[in-house]
Structures are given as structure tokens and as C-alpha cells.
């Protein structure tokens, strides 16, 4: 078990201005973390599609807080496109926000985690990677698959340094980014769950809070599916 830190751990929540990201910010703050938010509306304003902006955000965290102990990537660009309507600029923006920013931030924060012998990286993915997704989610689902691959690859390479890398895959959760979905989609999702209730951002944040804690030190490379048992059924 890692030693109890004498100062609060610093957590960076990417996309922390959104519904799920905001719930994660509240969860980690409640657990005693100092939380910084990288987002277009975060306390560190950042365009996640811009690599230099992402690097600058990481530098600011290190300059102002000295460290990052917990990195949670909860940002998601959800531009709708199918194979016939793919625009490469829009496609690349989705991959930049959803995947490349996660790589750049890990690159910035992993050296300090390795030096201290402790780190937690948690990626928010999606259960649409396993379920038959809507065709117009092509870019989004592809990016989440890449993020799952990144999770497993980093877990294998960083575990020896005390850094655990995991992911949380929410089911269909009502937020601003899913507002375009009709009520029937949420009803069908609930009907297919073993636990047939509406999913909330707090379901995701509770899982992240656990994964960021010392209690989860034996978990890495895992994807926790927080979908009410939708995949189970």
C-alpha cells in the first residue's frame, strides 16, 4: 500500500467542465484532491484539439502545482459522421481531442509519477465500443477504441513504476452531449440493462474516485463498464 501523502494529491481532469467531467471534479475534490480542469471552460483554458495548447496546459499545472498524481481524461468530441460523410478535418479533430490530448498529457505527467512511484491515469471511454453503434458515431467510437488500446498499452509499460492505468466505459447517460438522442433511445437502453434505471454522471465519478484511490492499487489495464449491466445482458 502506498504511503499516505502528507500533502493533497493533485488531479487533472480533462474535460472537467462537462456533465461527467464535472461530476468527477466534485468526486475527487470531495476525496481531498487538489483538482485542476483542462477544458475550454476550465480553470486552465485549453483547446484540446491543439497540441501546443495541451502542452501549455500541462506546463501550467506543473508550474503552479508542481505535480500531477491523478490524470483523468473525460473529454470527448462527438462530431457526427458516417463513412459516406467523413470530413478528414473533422475526423482528425475528434481523434486529437479524444486520443492525442491523452497521449500528450501522459507524456507530460508520467515522468513525475514515475519519480514519485505513484500515479493514476483513468480514461473515460464508452460502451458503444462493444455494442453495435449508430453509423454516425464512426469517428467517436473509433477514438474510444483507440483510447482503450492506449489504456492497455500504458498499463503494461508503466505498472513497474507504480502507475496504474484504467478506463471507465459509461452506458448511455443523459448529458448535454447526448441531448440529440430521442427519449426512445434512453428507454431502450434502460430496458436492456440488468439494472433498469437511468444512468447518471455520478455513476461514472464514483468509479473514477475508486480507481484514483490507494484501494485500487491492484487494478490496472482494466475497463470498468458502468452501464447498469447493459453489456452483461
**Phi first, then psi: what are they for 133, rounded to 5°?**
-85, 165
Residue pair 165/154 in contact (Cβ under 8 Å)? The answer is: yes
Question: Quick one: which of 193, 202, 198, 204 has its CA closest to 167?
Answer: 204
| Residue 146: Cβ within 10 Å count | 18
d(CA 206, CA 223): 14
Q: What is the rounded CA–CA span in Å between residue 46 and residue 221? A: 28
Tell me the sheet residues that pair with 168.
Answer: 124, 224
CA–CA separation, 216 vs 155, rounded Å? 14
Distances (CA, A) of 98 to 91, 213, 214: 11, 24, 27
The one catalytic residue in 61, 140, 189, 193 is 140
140 is catalytic: yes
- Active site residue ranges: 140
Amino acid at each position: 500500500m502506498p504511503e499516505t501523502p502528507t500533502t493533497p494529491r493533485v488531479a487533472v481532469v480533462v474535460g472537467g467542465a462537462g456533465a461527467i467531467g464535472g461530476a468527477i471534479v466534485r468526486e475527487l475534490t470531495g476525496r481531498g484532491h487538489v483538482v485542476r480542469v483542462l477544458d475550454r471552460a476550465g480553470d486552465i483554458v485549453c483547446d484540446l484539439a491543439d497540441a501546443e495548447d495541451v502542452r501549455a496546459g500541462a506546463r501550467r499545472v506543473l508550474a503552479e502545482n508542481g505535480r500531477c498524481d491523478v490524470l483523468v481524461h473525460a473529454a470527448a468530441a462527438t462530431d457526427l459522421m458516417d463513412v459516406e460523410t467523413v470530413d478528414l478535418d473533422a475526423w482528425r479533430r475528434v481523434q486529437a481531442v479524444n486520443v492525442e490530448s491523452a497521449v500528450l498529457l501522459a507524456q507530460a505527467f508520467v515522468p513525475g509519477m514515475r519519480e514519485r512511484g505513484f500515479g493514476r491515469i483513468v480514461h473515460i471511454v464508452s460502451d458503444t465500443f462493444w455494442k453495435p453503434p449508430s453509423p454516425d458515431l464512426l469517428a467517436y467510437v473509433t477514438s474510444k477504441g483507440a483510447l482503450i488500446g492506449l489504456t492497455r498499452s500504458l498499463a503494461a509499460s508503466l505498472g513497474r513504476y507504480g502507475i496504474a492505468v484504467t478506463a471507465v466505459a459509461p452506458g448511455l447517460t443523459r448529458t448535454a452531449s447526448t441531448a440529440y438522442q430521442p427519449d426512445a433511445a434512453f428507454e431502450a437502453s434502460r430496458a436492456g440493462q440488468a439494472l433498469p434505471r437511468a444512468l447518471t454522471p455520478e455513476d461514472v465519478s464514483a468509479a473514477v474516485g475508486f480507481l484514483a484511490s490507494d484501494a485500487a492499487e491492484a487494478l490496472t489495464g482494466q475497463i470498468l463498464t458502468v452501464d447498469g449491466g447493459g453489456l452483461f445482458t
